[in-house]
């Protein structure tokens, strides 16, 4: 008795309709998902010419019975869904029963499959949707689908295919990210004779991240561990609904100093499905709010697990858009969990020479087996299209106005006011010292390995730093247990003040100072509207203002931290941003923004001479902040040059 059924019309009609096969990468995605649904532990992908000439996926999954193999090419034939009710809780990656027939109609397809229940396998050959052959064959258990000459019979589609390199990059990205979602499985990707990815089963996501991206990337990432949160559903909403829903979040995300110019390095899986979702992207950027400039994006690999009923995957044919039943709960859970973990990890930026390609975090991938991938991820980074844009309907074909957050126009690169991308110290290790040179070094004194202090990543060590002086009366140079630190005095002070003002604001005790004479400020009509919206929050933050005639306000008091001369400037700064981005912002965002504005105005400026006592005070106080690593606008506070890096640069290790 076969497993596959043709869906009755009333179910088929409820399935989000649309095209599945748009490009080689979508073939790879559908076939990979089928192999995963079949419970395969080994997935081997082979492509030629970026998937145009050949895509072959071999798995050791459950295989298909003879009758099922034939049925699988009918539209709406699936083993994963029976009735309308099943649509509400889909636990498999596929469910539409459309991938195999769609692929078979635009290519020359060969299916080799054998289920454990049968002793001989089945071979089916189809070209352009016409069955050419169906015969018994001696085969191992599992399934091999070979797709040749994609769109050979649809010249119009063939013309619009992207370059082979672009397609290959998307395929590599897909395979890599599905391999990250399944560390317990083997994944292999070959393009012609090139092995692009080969990972064998490991016990944890961390090990898989290491296999794929290398150890340096791991250093730049924060591991979340598993965090859970329960949602209590009001009883009686629906029959037999469990009262508690548990949401689970695991994954890795980058420290704030790893800043990407677009969302290409964000991968979100929900119940094992790679999705793109505006809500979750927003949750992620809110977690980095005030830690990273607004135009920059982190690297993130997030896995959300929840009851299948909590997520509707039947929204779009590509199955990459989903709808959550309790979306705001999930949004806040993701945002708060990531933010908490970021604050906990309190890492320090370090000197990173020009961005290193080859890993999500920009670090060079190390393990030899993964070198080919590193080339690939570099290639992906250089592609105009995002890996996620592979997911159908993401870009070119997306209807206008659909998913604005996923418009893949490259976001403006973060433009830090002070550019540290070319650090003053070049740390690329030179050639290995010759024997002669080593002796020469020895004569200058040994540096025994045990004397190299352990790397010091946390900024809690700031309190122990010895300030040595300033560069340009702007940056504090300090010696620590492990190497050298450079601290931007303005940004450091800004972070201190920001947290102070925020705390005072939360406690309802913002220190204010009365102005000798009220300051009269003239507003434009637009500013007047924004002012009305934020007046309450301004007041709570220490600005005492009153309407004073038409489009004019009188400021009577201001936060104590702000000098009288700066009051007008800061008010305008706040109102200016209110115009652009804060119109839709939450009260919380608005509050943080106002506090950040106050802190920025009140902080010590660069080009200011500081004596030793002031520098010490600054470092100690900075160490006590929650987030000493970046200013409220997301710029780095400190750069760290470890002893190990110094030794390396001097060829002493």
Distances (CA, A) of 331 to 231, 267, 279, 350: 12, 16, 6, 31
Strands, sheet with 512-522, edge to edge from the N-terminal-most edge strand: 512-522, 552-559, 544-547
**Is-contact 622 492, C-beta < 8 A?**
yes
Q: Which is nearer to Mg ion, 34 or 113 (CB)?
A: 34
Q: Which is nearer to Mg ion, 103 or 199 (CB)?
A: 103
Query: Which residue, 75, 56, 68, 58, is CA-closest to 7?
Result: 75
Query: Which residue, 339, 274, 323, 263, is CA-closest to 303?
Result: 274
In the complex, least distance from residue 318 CB atom to Mg ion, rounded to whole angstroms: 12
Take residue 446 and report the two structure tokens written for it. 């040994």
Q: Which residue is nearest to Mg ion (CB)?
A: 94
Q: Which is nearer to ligand ADP, 7 or 538 (CB)?
A: 7
**Is-contact 497 598, C-beta < 8 A?**
yes
Rule CB under 6 A: say whether 79 interacts with ligand ADP: yes
Residue 97 zone, left/alpha/beta (φ > 0; ψ -120 to 50; rest): left
β-strand 108-114 against 142-148: which pairing, if any?
Answer: antiparallel
Rule CB under 6 A: say whether 72 interacts with ligand ADP: yes
In the complex, least distance from residue 92 CB atom to ligand ADP, rounded to whole angstroms: 7
Take residue 593 and report the two structure tokens written for it. 């923004």
Compute the CA torsion angle 114, 313, 388, 419 (nearest 10 deg): -140
Q: Which is nearer to ligand ADP, 115 or 166 (CB)?
A: 115
Residue 224 interaction partner, one of Mg ion, ligand ADP, none, beta carbon < 5-8 Å per kind: none
100, 322, 365, 393: residue in contact with ligand ADP (rule CB under 6 A): 100
64, 126, 304, 491: residue in contact with ligand ADP (rule CB under 6 A): 64
Q: Which is nearer to ligand ADP, 21 or 168 (CB)?
A: 21
Touching Mg ion, residues 87-146 (CB under 5 A): 94, 99
In the complex, least distance from residue 35 CB atom to ligand ADP, rounded to whole angstroms: 5
Close Cβ partners of 238 (under 8 Å, ≥ 6 residues apart) = none
Residue 80 interaction partner, one of ligand ADP, Mg ion, none, beta carbon < 5-8 Å per kind: ligand ADP
In the complex, least distance from residue 102 CB atom to ligand ADP, rounded to whole angstroms: 8
The alpha-carbon radius of gyration of the chain (Å, integer) is 29
Rule CB under 6 A: say whether 97 interacts with ligand ADP: yes
How many positions of this chain bind ligand ADP (CB under 6 A)?
24
Residue 61 interaction partner, one of Mg ion, ligand ADP, none, beta carbon < 5-8 Å per kind: ligand ADP
Q: Measured in Å, how far apart are the chain's first and last C-alpha atoms?
A: 68
Residue 63 interaction partner, one of ligand ADP, Mg ion, none, beta carbon < 5-8 Å per kind: ligand ADP
Rule CB under 6 A: say whether 143 interacts with ligand ADP: yes
* Consecutive H or E run containing 251: strand 244-254
Helices and strands per DSSP (H, E), number in the chain: 18, 25
Residue 478 CA to its chain's centroid (Å): 33
Residue 59 interaction partner, one of ligand ADP, Mg ion, none, beta carbon < 5-8 Å per kind: ligand ADP
Rule CB under 6 A: say whether 392 interacts with ligand ADP: no
Take residue 472 and report the two structure tokens written for it. 């340009």
Q: How many CB atoms lie within 10 A of CB 198?
A: 17
DSSP state of 364: P
**Is-contact 321 403, C-beta < 8 A?**
yes
With DSSP H G I counted as helix, E B as strand and the rest as coil, what are the percentages for the chain, rounded to 5?
Answer: 35, 25, 40
Residue 372 interaction partner, one of ligand ADP, Mg ion, none, beta carbon < 5-8 Å per kind: none
Q: Which is nearer to ligand ADP, 4 or 538 (CB)?
A: 4
Span from 78-86, 194-202, 248-256, 285-293 in contact with ligand ADP (CB under 6 A): 78-86
Q: Which is nearer to Mg ion, 94 or 349 (CB)?
A: 94
Touching ligand ADP, residues 1-60 (CB under 6 A): 3-4, 30, 34-35, 38, 59
Distances (CA, A) of 416 to 26, 250, 259, 290, 484: 38, 31, 11, 14, 22
Query: Which residue, 193, 196, 194, is CA-closest to 175?
Result: 196
In the complex, least distance from residue 350 CB atom to ligand ADP, rounded to whole angstroms: 45
In the complex, least distance from residue 31 CB atom to ligand ADP, rounded to whole angstroms: 7
3-state secondary structure of 295: coil
43, 44, 50, 95: residue in contact with ligand ADP (rule CB under 6 A): 95
24, 50, 51, 63: residue in contact with ligand ADP (rule CB under 6 A): 63
Q: Which is nearer to Mg ion, 31 or 570 (CB)?
A: 31
Q: Which is nearer to ligand ADP, 188 or 488 (CB)?
A: 188
Residue 60 CA to its chain's centroid (Å): 31
In the complex, least distance from residue 508 CB atom to ligand ADP, rounded to whole angstroms: 57
Hey, which bits of 149-240 come out as E strands?
Answer: 186-191, 194-199, 221-223, 227-232
CA distance 291 to 35: 40
Take residue 539 and report the two structure tokens written for it. 């007041």
Span from 77-85, 358-366, 440-448, 542-550 in contact with ligand ADP (CB under 6 A): 77-85
- What binding mask, one character per residue, do residues 33-52 give for Mg ion by CB under 5 A, x or -? -x------------------
Residue 97 interaction partner, one of ligand ADP, Mg ion, none, beta carbon < 5-8 Å per kind: ligand ADP
In the complex, least distance from residue 128 CB atom to ligand ADP, rounded to whole angstroms: 17
Rule CB under 5 A: say whether 61 interacts with Mg ion: no
Binding residues for Mg ion (CB under 5 A):
34, 94, 99
Binding residues for ligand ADP (CB under 6 A):
3-4, 30, 34-35, 38, 59, 61-64, 72, 77-80, 94-100, 143
């Amino acid at each position: 008795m076969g497993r596959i059924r043709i869906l009755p019309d009333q179910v088929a009609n409820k399935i989000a309709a649309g095209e599945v096969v748009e490009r080689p990468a979508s073939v790879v995605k559908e076939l990979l998902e089928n192999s995963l649904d079949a419970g395969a532990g080994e997935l081997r992908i082979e492509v030629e010419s970026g998937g145009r000439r050949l895509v072959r996926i071999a798995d050791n999954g459950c295989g298909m019975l003879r009758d099922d193999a034939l049925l699988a090419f009918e539209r709406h034939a699936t083993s994963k869904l029976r009735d309308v009710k099943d649509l509400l809780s889909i636990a498999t990656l596929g469910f539409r029963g459309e991938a195999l027939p769609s692929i078979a109609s635009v290519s020359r397809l060969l299916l080799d499959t054998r289920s454990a229940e049968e002793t001989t396998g089945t071979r089916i050959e189809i070209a352009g949707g016409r069955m050419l052959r169906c015969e018994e064959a001696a085969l191992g258990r599992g399934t091999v689908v070979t797709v040749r000459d994609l769109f050979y019979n649809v010249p119009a589609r063939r013309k619009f295919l992207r370059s082979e390199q672009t397609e290959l990059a998307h395929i590599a990205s897909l395979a890599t990210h599905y391999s990250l979602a399944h560390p317990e499985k083997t994944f292999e990707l070959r393009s012609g004779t090139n092995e692009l990815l080969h990972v064998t089963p490991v016990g944890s996501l961390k090990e898989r991240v290491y296999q794929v991206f290398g150890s340096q990337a791991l250093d730049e990432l924060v591991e979340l561990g598993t965090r859970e949160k329960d949602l209590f559903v009001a009883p009686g909403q629906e029959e037999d609904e469990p009262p508690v829903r548990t949401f689970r979040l695991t994954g890795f995300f980058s420290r704030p100093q790893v800043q990407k110019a677009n969302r290409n390095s964000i991968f979100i899986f929900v119940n094992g499905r790679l999705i793109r979702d505006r809500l979750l992207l927003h949750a992620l950027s809110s977690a980095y709010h005030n830690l990273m400039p607004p135009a920059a994006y982190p690297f993130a690999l997030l896995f959300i697990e929840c009851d299948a009923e909590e997520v509707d995957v039947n929204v779009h044919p590509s199955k990459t858009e989903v709808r959550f039943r309790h979306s705001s709960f999930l949004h806040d859970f993701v945002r708060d969990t990531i933010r908490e973990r970021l604050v906990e990890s309190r890492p320090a930026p370090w000197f990173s020479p020009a961005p290193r390609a080859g890993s999500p975090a920009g670090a060079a991938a190390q393990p030899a087996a993964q070198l080919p991938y590193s080339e690939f991820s570099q290639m992906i980074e250089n592609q105009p299209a995002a890996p996620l844009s592979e997911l159908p309907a993401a870009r070119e074909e997306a209807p206008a106005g659909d998913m604005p957050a996923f418009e893949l126009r490259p976001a403006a690169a973060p433009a830090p006011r002070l550019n540290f991308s070319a650090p003053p110290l070049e740390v690329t290790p030179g050639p290995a010292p010759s024997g002669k040179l080593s002796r020469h070094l020895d004569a200058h004194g040994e540096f025994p390995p045990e004397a190299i202090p352990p790397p010091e990543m946390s900024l809690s060590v700031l309190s122990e730093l010895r300030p040595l002086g300033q560069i340009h009366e702007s940056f504090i140079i300090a010696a620590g247990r492990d190497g050298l630190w450079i601290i931007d005095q303005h940004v450091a002070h800004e972070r201190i003040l920001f947290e102070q003002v925020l705390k005072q604001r939360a406690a309802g005790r913002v220190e204010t100072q009365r102005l000798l004479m009220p300051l009269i400020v003239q507003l434009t009509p637009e500013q007047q509207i924004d002012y009305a919206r934020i007046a309450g929050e301004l007041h709570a933050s220490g600005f005492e203002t009153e309407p004073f005639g038409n489009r004019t306000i009188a400021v009577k008091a201001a936060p104590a931290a702000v000098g009288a001369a700066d009051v007008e400037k800061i008010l305008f700064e706040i109102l200016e941003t209110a115009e652009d981005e804060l119109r839709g912002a939450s009260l919380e965002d608005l509050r943080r923004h106002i506090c950040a504005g106050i802190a920025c105005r009140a902080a010590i400026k660069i080009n200011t001479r500081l004596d030793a006592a002031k520098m010490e005070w600054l470092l100690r106080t900075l160490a006590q902040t929650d987030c000493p690593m970046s200013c409220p606008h997301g710029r780095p506070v400190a750069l760290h040059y470890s002893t190990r890096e110094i030794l390396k640069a001097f060829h002493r290790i």
